[in-house]
Amino acid sequence: MTRNRSIYVCGGCGYQSPRWLGRCPDCGAWNSLLEEVPAASPAPGAERGLLPAVVTLADVEAGSEERIVTGLGEFDRVLGGGLVRGSLVLVGGEPGVGKSTLLLQALLGMEAAGVPTMLVSGEESPAQVKLRARRLPGARDGLRLVSETRCEPVMACLAEHRPAVCVVDSVQTLWSDVLSSPPGSVSQSREVTGQLLRVAKGKGITLVLVGHVTKSGDLAGPRVLEHMVDAVLAFEGERGQPYRILRAVKNRFGSTNEVGVFQMTGSGLRDVPDPSSLFLEEGAASPGASVVAAMEGTRCLLAEVQALVTPSGLAMPRRVTRGVDHNRLAMVVAVLSRRAGLSLGECDIFANVAGGLTVEDPAADLPLALAVASSFRDRALGDAAAFGELSLTGQVRYVVHGDVRLQELARRGFRRVLAPRRNVEELRAHGAVPAGLSLEAVTDIRELVRGLIG
């Protein structure tokens, strides 16, 4: 018999090495390799079981996917209309963002609607769960709780009680006897998820797993879990801000384009069905501020982009961002310096999106550039909103969903909008420009900056 030798597994990406290494050669994380003892390999011949049945597509009964509505409108929306029966969903997010609150609230909603539910909590005691539930709207006492961290009893419990929906908070606290590695390690998480997967599919129980994110912000640490589950949702929010965004990173039963917006209140999370102007600040017409119409999934959110440009005493001037990508700011600043002739090289530049929103839409380039230019020249932009991507040549490029952005801006009372020329042509051709709104075509950042700010 061969001895099971230890292997070293990266906690971030699952890379395996026979030796310990200080840095993972695969994902580059430092000090992320942990020792694990691999499971005993099955006896030879064990894999030679019965031949699986082969069917043609025509023989397969499709059955309609049955959805369980959680009652939290924004959660249902991100899932694509509720939880699919028998599916496995992973919800990831930083500690304190509100994962436990979100899922407890969803469970209570389903329980109230007569869906048999269960909460497996390895992180909080039943008393803690009760205290939390008291703060939530419509709390009932019927929710079944299991306080357990061993996987096998949890499985037995599921088989015995057959809830329609079970939440496991969190997958990293569960561990299986099969492996000797510690809870939370890559192989334990994978093993536990694999076991739960079989129950979910076999018994038609919908399982929602809570997963922690790694230091670097990767969802659920080991990416291996992402491949095993049907849907991966990321719950995001800025500390100190009440708004939370739920994003579908992967969804086998719906679109990955949807986002849900919530507000954290003293009594749980509240849906924000019309979030477009949540992130708009009042009195935006000061130097260094501009308004972006950014797409989040199929919805358009309006937010204020702010920039502050100040002379720097440092050899390496600072570039600090919140809510926009650091590299995006670097590119916008480079384009402004080279193509619009602004000498930003010796300035500290700070960029921020108000309200804790993170904007990934490339259409934020143009408003960001305008905010930087406006702060540099100390001239306010007035009440104009903008959208458009910036190319390295200084051209303003077409972006998708021009009509949705324009409608949203018009609805929020904007009277002047700067947009890429091709968008403007398209919108005019389709008669999609709301009455009373002045739409200005932009082609070149240099002309625009000169015209607007001087």
Which residues of this protein are in contact with Mg ion, per CB under 5 A? Answer: 100
C-beta nearest to Mg ion: residue: 100
Would you count residue 451 as binding ligand TYD (CB under 6 A)? no
When CB distances are held under 5 to 8 angstroms depending on the partner's kind, the choice from Mg ion, ligand TYD, none that residue 264 binds is ligand TYD
When CB distances are held under 5 to 8 angstroms depending on the partner's kind, the choice from Mg ion, ligand TYD, none that residue 267 binds is ligand TYD
- Euclidean distance between the first and final Cα of the chain, in Å? 80
Q: Indicate the residue among 97 and 168 with the shorter CB distance to ligand TYD.
A: 97
Would you count residue 371 as binding ligand TYD (CB under 6 A)? no
Distance CA(261)–CA(181), nearest Å, equals 38
Distance CA(263)–CA(98), nearest Å, equals 10
Would you count residue 223 as binding ligand TYD (CB under 6 A)? no
Would you count residue 268 as binding ligand TYD (CB under 6 A)? yes
Q: Which of 93, 323, 355, 356 binds ligand TYD (CB under 6 A)?
A: 93
For the segment 129-158, give every residue that binds ligand TYD (CB under 6 A): 132, 135
Q: What angle do CA 18, 19, 24 make, to 5 degrees?
A: 100
Would you count residue 339 as binding ligand TYD (CB under 6 A)? no
Q: Give DSSP secondary structure letters for 80-133.
A: TSSEETT-EEEEEE-TTSSHHHHHHHHHHHHHHTT--EEEEESSS-HHHHHHHH
Q: What angle do CA 60, 64, 68 make, to 5 degrees?
A: 140
Q: Give me the phi and psi of 402, to 5 degrees please.
A: -55, -35
Computed over its alpha carbons, how large is the radius of gyration of the chain? Answer: 26
Bridge partner residues of 23 (DSSP): 30
Provide the sign of the torsion angle of the four alpha carbons 80, 83, 87, 93, taken in this order: positive
Number of residues counted as binding ligand TYD (CB under 6 A)? 14
Is residue 238 within 8 A of residue 278, CB to CB? The reply is no
- Find where tokens 């929010």 sit: 237
Minimum CB separation from Mg ion for residue 144, in Å? 18
Listed ranges 55-63, 90-98, 270-278, 425-433: which one lies at the site for ligand TYD (CB under 6 A): 90-98
Minimum CB separation from ligand TYD for residue 433, in Å? 42
Listed ranges 2-10, 32-40, 92-100, 321-329: which one lies at the site for ligand TYD (CB under 6 A): 92-100
Minimum CB separation from ligand TYD for residue 92, in Å? 10
In the three-class reduction of DSSP (H, G, I as helix; E, B as strand; rest coil), residue 377 is classed as: helix
Q: Which of 28, 96, 137, 217 binds ligand TYD (CB under 6 A)?
A: 96
Would you count residue 98 as binding ligand TYD (CB under 6 A)? yes
When CB distances are held under 5 to 8 angstroms depending on the partner's kind, the choice from ligand TYD, Mg ion, none that residue 299 binds is none
In the three-class reduction of DSSP (H, G, I as helix; E, B as strand; rest coil), residue 169 is classed as: strand
Interface mask toward ligand TYD for 19-58; x: CB under 6 A: ----------------------------------------
Look at residues 382, 397, 388 and name the one whose alpha carbon lies nearest to residue 451. 382
Q: Indicate the residue among 135 and 421 with the shorter CB distance to ligand TYD.
A: 135
When CB distances are held under 5 to 8 angstroms depending on the partner's kind, the choice from Mg ion, ligand TYD, none that residue 92 binds is none
Would you count residue 217 as binding ligand TYD (CB under 6 A)? no
Q: What angle do CA 314, 317, 323 make, to 5 degrees?
A: 140
Minimum CB separation from ligand TYD for residue 297, in Å? 22
Q: Is 364 exposed, middle or buried (0-12, 13-18, 19+ CB in 10 A)?
A: buried
Look at residues 370, 282, 380 and name the one whose alpha carbon lies nearest to residue 333. 370
Is residue 282 within 8 A of residue 412, CB to CB? The reply is no
Distance CA(56)–CA(69), nearest Å, equals 32
User: Which of left, alpha, beta for 31 (phi over 0: left; psi -120 to 50: alpha)?
Assistant: left
Q: Indicate the residue among 86 and 98 with the shorter CB distance to ligand TYD.
A: 98
Would you count residue 211 as binding ligand TYD (CB under 6 A)? no
Q: Which of 32, 87, 100, 423 binds ligand TYD (CB under 6 A)?
A: 100
Listed ranges 196-204, 260-268, 283-291, 345-353: which one lies at the site for ligand TYD (CB under 6 A): 260-268
When CB distances are held under 5 to 8 angstroms depending on the partner's kind, the choice from ligand TYD, Mg ion, none that residue 268 binds is ligand TYD
Would you count residue 172 as binding ligand TYD (CB under 6 A)? no
Q: Indicate the residue among 127 and 156 with the shorter CB distance to Mg ion.
A: 127
Q: Indicate the residue among 39 and 249 with the shorter CB distance to ligand TYD.
A: 249
Distance CA(103)–CA(71), nearest Å, equals 11
Q: Indicate the residue among 178 and 264 with the shorter CB distance to ligand TYD.
A: 264
Residue ranges that bind ligand TYD, judged by CB under 6 A:
93, 95-101, 132, 135, 264, 266-268
